Structure 1
Amino acid sequence: MADRRLQVFHAVAKQLSFTKAAETLYMTQPAVTFQIKQLEEHFNTRLFDRGHGRISLTPAGELALEYADRILGEYADLEARLAEMTGQMRGPLLVGASITIAEFMLPRVLGEFNALYPNVRARLVVGNSETIENRVAEHSLDLGITEAIEHLPQLQAETCCDDELQVICSPSHPLARESAITPAMLRDHAFIAREPGSGTREVTDNYFRQAGVDPASLKVLMELGSPEALKGVVSTGLGVAIVSRASFHKELQLQHLVAIPLSPRLTRPLSLVTPKEKFRSKLVTSFVDFARRKLQEYAA
């Protein structure tokens, strides 16, 4: 087992928060503080500066984080390789996903994978595509599933399936009876957008540009950080939004929203991303293959 103090330090250094690290590690905050104090006493130096309700890494802390990244990464590889030698599929699996995928696609994938391999401890980290890819690149996640069009050069990306995006609006909205909507038609209506950095925002902005519509010309009423937030605002009749078809099935059944295809249709690839240079364990390889197959089934 890797040194627990080092694991705790790594979590605090990544989160820059004792509270968030405690939640991540399923520990109490006093227990996290105690482990950090022990490690600082062991090295006879401060690893964090504390003040004004915030913490930051000292120069010693920055150095310790560099080594902690390598040590914990090597330990994870050791654990994976030893498990493979004994024919086991076990150990931690750290998966990151952009918000739409995490909320509406991955729960089924993770549940079915865990049913096949009950000794695997999967953990899902949710963020926008930019955040997830950065964490995969820094090796704090084993893999990510994102909606990004362009990927960081240090990542290996493979398309697993395509996802269609459609316009949603309330049943009383003027566009609700249209059979298809062009990008130019959306300039005349209040638009609810995803936040900059999200895969959906990147894809829709590129789509508008290719159609000759400057995204800045849209009447953007607000920018929101999740599909659930977008659907909630749109259902009030305040505006329209563009979201993944996978995200609004329930609302269509309840007739809270109407979905209209774009013309031309808008699809985006969903990509599995892993570090290029990092050893890929049998567990990660198996999950990548499983997730690709399942996501293709769900998209169909």
Structure 2
Amino acid sequence: MNFHQLHIFYTVSEQGSFSAAAQRLHMTQPAVTMQVQALEDYFGAKLFDRSSKKIVLSEAGQVLLPYARRSIQLIREADQAMSAFTHMLEGRLQLGASLTIGEYVLPRLLGPFGKAYPNISIMMKVMNTSQIIEEIHKHQLNFGLIEAPVSHPAMVFEPVMGDELKLIVPWEHPLADKEEVTLAEALQYPFVLREQGSGTRRVMEEQMLDKGLDPGAMRVVMELGSTGAVKSAVEAGLGITIISASSVKHEVTLGLLKIVNISDASFKRQFYAIHLKSTLLPISAVTFLTFLREHTDEW
């Protein structure tokens, strides 16, 4: 059990639905459901009655609710008491970030964070998930930010912010004139994709399988090891792709690429913070992760 789970449980009870709670918390609905289920597994009791359209607290949930409310209030009081101190925090954060996060998400947030906490310096390494885990395990990084959870007995994973993959096409592509298309329509064209095993590729393929479509049936003309390389290939007209919408804001503004909505599929995902179970994060790291959660809409 952790505070994050209690906060999610409390928000679901206040909002009356998992979807409304997910919107309030800037999380996906499956992520909210997963955290509530983890809390139910911990206590060995169902916390909500899901038999009706509007979920209601079970007897066990009613017992837990005042404790969750008190814990949230205590955290708020602690945050207020520490606010003056945290703005004077000093230190150096060493973190690892996977490609999409490190290249396109964090750069937009590091500036505002630096203004809010000018005495915290950040050293960021952009690398793949396995490299991040290895360096955290060797105590060379405080924590990492990755695009998909992985199973590791020594690590803790916590959702930090949400992201969504979109269909990206060249500006003069036949699909560029459409506001939205079906996934089947998009699959008629050649694709340029991230390499197998990347978080982006994994999310895309899992969604296709959920829709009963075989990822292996895609006409993949090129696989590349970075989002930047994929964007360049799409700009050159070599194919279309499905990547994070946050990674193409600049190209869309310049009229080089266009985002096309897929009407019958949603490629939403969570970004996760990862750190050692055996090591408490420094206050500066907790402050940074809190900052990311609070500013998730700004990137």
* TM-score w.r.t. length of structure 1: 0.65
Distance 1:211 1:237, change over 3 A: same
CA distance in 1, matches of 2:160, 2:169: 29
- Shift in alpha-carbon separation, 1:131–1:189, aligned structure 2, 3 A: farther
CA distance in 1, matches of 2:173, 2:116: 46
**Any residues of structure 2 matched to 1:1-300 within 5 Å, and which?**
89-262=89-262, 263-294=264-295, 296-298=296-298
Letter in 1 for 2:235: S
User: How far is the alpha carbon of 1:150 from its aligned partner?
Assistant: 3.6
AA aligned opposite 1:288: L
The amino acid that maps onto 2:232 is G
Q: Distance in 1 between matches of 2:198 and 2:265?
A: 22
What is the Cα deviation at residue 93 of structure 1?
A: 0.7
User: Rg: which structure is higher?
Assistant: 1
Q: Distance in 1 between matches of 2:129 and 2:246?
A: 17
Q: What is the Cα deviation at residue 203 of structure 1? A: 0.8
Q: Could you tell me the percent identity over the aligned residues?
A: 34
Q: Is the 8 A contact 1:149 1:202 kept in 2?
A: no
> Quick one: distance in 1 between partners of 2:282 and 2:196?
33
Per the alignment, residue 69 of structure 1 pairs with none
Distance 1:89 1:244, change over 3 A: same
CA–CA distance in structure 1, aligned partners of residues 151 and 114 of structure 2: 28
Q: What is the root-mean-square deviation of aligned Cα atoms in Å?
A: 2.2
1: CA distance, partners of 2:241 / 2:153: 31
- Structure 1 window deviating more from structure 2 (182-191 vs 221-230): it is 182-191
How many corresponding residue pairs? 213
* Conserved? CA contact 1:96–1:125, under 8 Å: yes
Residues 67-122 of structure 1, C-alpha deviations (whole Å, 9 max, x = no match)? xxxxxxxxxxxxxxxxxx9x962222111111111122212322333333333231
CA offsets 1:180-231 (integer angstroms, 9 cap, x no match) = 2333333321111101232111111211211222222111111112221111
> Are the structure 2 counterparts of residues 155 and 242 from structure 1 closer, same or farther at C-alpha, using a change threshold of 3 Å?
same
Query: TM-score, normalised to structure 2's length?
Result: 0.65
CA contact (8 A) 1:97 1:124 kept: yes
Matched residue type, 1:236: A
Distance 1:139 1:270, change over 3 A: same
Q: Which amino acid aligns with 2:287?
A: S
CA distance in 2 between partners of 1:258 and 1:297 (Å): 21
Q: Could you say what secondary structure the match of 2:271 adopts?
A: strand
What's the offset of the Cα at 1:237? 1.4
